[in-house]
Structure 1
Amino acid sequence: MFGLAVPAGALLATLAWSSPAEVSAARGHMIVVGGGPGGAGAACFSCHGLQGQGDAGGAFPRLAGLDRIYLARQLDDYASGARPNPAMSPIAQQLTAGDRQSTALYYAELSAPAAVEPSSAADGRLVQWGAMLYAQGSAERGIQACANCHGPAASGLNRVYPPLLGQPASYVDAQLRLWRDGVRHNDIYDVMGTVARRMTDEDIRAAALYVAGISP
């Protein structure tokens, strides 16, 4: 999210996809609905929805349609501790590399409509400010425009810069705060951390509200 302009080739080199013979979307589906080694309590659908649509109330992101390499990398980072999370880390650590890649492949093949969150009238000023940050950033404070990396329609530009379209405001808000606080740091060159540390609470809320309301 919200990244500095970094050569995509340099980043993609770290996202190499290994392909064990056992990797398949069917295997990923079994993990999503059954939890794999973690059992039913670790089933992905319980938080991310049966169609991978996410859950705004729980700040759970949409996974459907995201790039398989990006998703696999996030699961690897949960497992290694590069992206610590009290819920996801234990689950990812129980999965083999093949399990994680199969899960990523399954979600990548899903197609889910973007869930647009309507903003209340009270949020109008924040949404307008978020739109400005997304499109133009803030040069005086060194905040890069989100569109530079995630695209003007929030559909992402490549496997490094994921789409933000359809992500709940609660999730976007939470991730920006984790980047800013240094809790999440699984990013080459600290791209997101550098930008997030320059954002105020209001900036973060505004950007999250705007992103959540972008229409496909």
Structure 2
Amino acid sequence: MKVLPSSLHRVVPALAAALLASASAVAAPPPDTMAQRMQACVACHGKEGRATNSGFFPRIAGKPAGYLYNQLVNFREGRRRNGTMAYLLDQMSDAYLREIADHFSALELPYPPPQTTHAPAALLARGEQLVRQGDAALGIPACAQCHGQAMTGIAPATPGLLGLPRDYILAQFGAWRTGERRAAAPDCMAQVAKRLSAQDVTAMATWLSAQPVNAGPAPAASAAANLPLECGSAAR
């Protein structure tokens, strides 16, 4: 019979305890919380849905719950086209989509610094004009009339436009123009997108992505006046 060296008499029990602890940790199920269930969203939308200031993926943390719910339904029903989103949402019920929307809407998290810096002054000026005043000659209402004077959205279903990557904003206007992105009729954003030139879309996206965002800006409780266009999504 072999006798273990004295040093191993101390190591073997410790190793056995470590293996048992490791096995227990592997066997223990993860906590069944919405935050844990939403880990699949992190790959694209960033930690806790806060996204980053680069790329095509929008921030979803803190958006109005009604807006998030509408977008989940739109992806599931094909009004918005994205293979990954459609696959993830295909078998989810309306009730569960509301739970997801409520979860991300309740998150109050810091925003990244503005993505766009050192943009031409003339481009920024045109973008701010369209966002704050619109262009009556082109039949374009101000973004602020629907998305709130602070551009942080309006409850329950109109999103804020600050803190979004410039390329994402450009891509969404392109999708509305081509019909790749649609909303419940009447689709007011599709109407606006088709009236805007490519230069004006670039100006708005540049100005919006150049604005700093204070931590945790909440959507306005209600619109200050009647909406300038009839929007099916706002009523859902």
TM superposition score category, shorter chain reference: 0.7 to 0.9
Partner of 1:159: 156
Partner of 2:186: 189
Shift of 1:192: 0.3
Q: Give, as a single letter, the amino acid of the residue that structure 1 aligns with 2:66.
A: I
Shift of 1:161: 1.8
Q: 1:58 to 1:94 in 2, by over 3 A?
A: farther
Q: Is residue 225 of structure 2 the alignment partner of residue 206 of structure 1?
A: no
Which structure 1 segments of 5+ residues have no match?
Answer: 1-25, 34-42
Q: Give, as a single letter, the amino acid of the residue that structure 1 aligns with 2:35.
A: H
Runs of 4+ deviating beyond 6 Å: none
Q: Give, as a single letter, the amino acid of the residue that structure 1 aligns with 2:192.
A: V
How many residues matched?
182
Partner of 2:233: none
Q: Is residue 82 of structure 2 the alignment partner of residue 85 of structure 1?
A: yes
Query: Which one of the candidate residues 49, 52, 73 is aligned to 1:52?
Result: 49
Shift of 1:84: 1.8
Task: Name the SS for the 2:159 alignment partner.
Answer: coil
CA shift digits 1:153-195 (9 cap, x unpaired): 2111222321112122221111111112121111431200111
Q: TM-score by structure 1 length?
A: 0.77
Partner of 1:103: 100
Q: Tell me the distance in 1 between the aligned counterparts of 2:81 and 2:43.
A: 20
Q: Tell me the distance in 2 between the aligned counterparts of 1:81 and 1:208.
A: 25
Shift of 1:101: 2.2
Q: 1:206 to 1:174 in 2, by over 3 A?
A: same
Partner of 1:130: 127
Task: Name the SS for the 2:38 alignment partner.
Answer: helix
Shift of 1:27: 4.2
Given that residues 52 and 112 in structure 2 are in contact (C-alpha distance below 8 angstroms), is that contact kept between their aligned partners in structure 1?
A: no
Q: Give, as a single letter, the amino acid of the residue that structure 2 aligns with 1:31.
A: R
Partner of 1:171: 168
Task: Name the SS for the 2:102 alignment partner.
Answer: helix
Looking at CA atoms only, which structure, 1 or 2, has the larger radius of gyration?
Answer: 2
CA shift digits 1:129-155 (9 cap, x unpaired): 111110111111111110111122211
Identity rate of aligned residues, in percent? Answer: 34
Which structure 2 segments of 5+ residues have no match?
Answer: 1-31, 215-236
